[in-house]
Amino acid sequence: MPVLSPDAAKSRLAQLPGWQIESGELAEQAAHHPDIDIRYNRVRLALVTHDAGGITEKDFDLAVRVQSLAP
């Protein structure tokens, strides 16, 4: 899967309120392994397709699925 251009990633990000791009069970179904950092009252889910070397459509597809779980 190809890495998205910065403009394409920004366009996809606009569809996910509260999400941001930082340098750098749904996951298992998508054969995707995000980094999860839990600190006090904040959870950070880092999505990047490591084998592609950057952000791909796969990352945004998983973000949309995770977003649908939020209240």
Predicted confidence at residue 26, as pLDDT, reads 65
Over the Cα atoms of the chain, what is R_g? 12
Three-state secondary structure call for residue 67: helix
Look up residue 57 and give its two tokens: 């459509």
pLDDT at 64 over 80: yes
List the one residue out of 71, 66, 51, 56 whose CA is nearest residue 21: 56
Domains defined for the chain, CATH in brackets: 6-67 (3.30.1360.20)
Predicted confidence at residue 46, as pLDDT, reads 87
Half-sphere exposure of 43 (CA within 13 A, CB side): 6
Alpha-carbon gap, residue 29 to 25, rounded angstroms: 6
pLDDT, one tens digit per residue, over 11-51 is 999 999 888 887 547 676 666 778 889 999 988 888 888 88
Which residue has better confidence, 59 or 29? 59
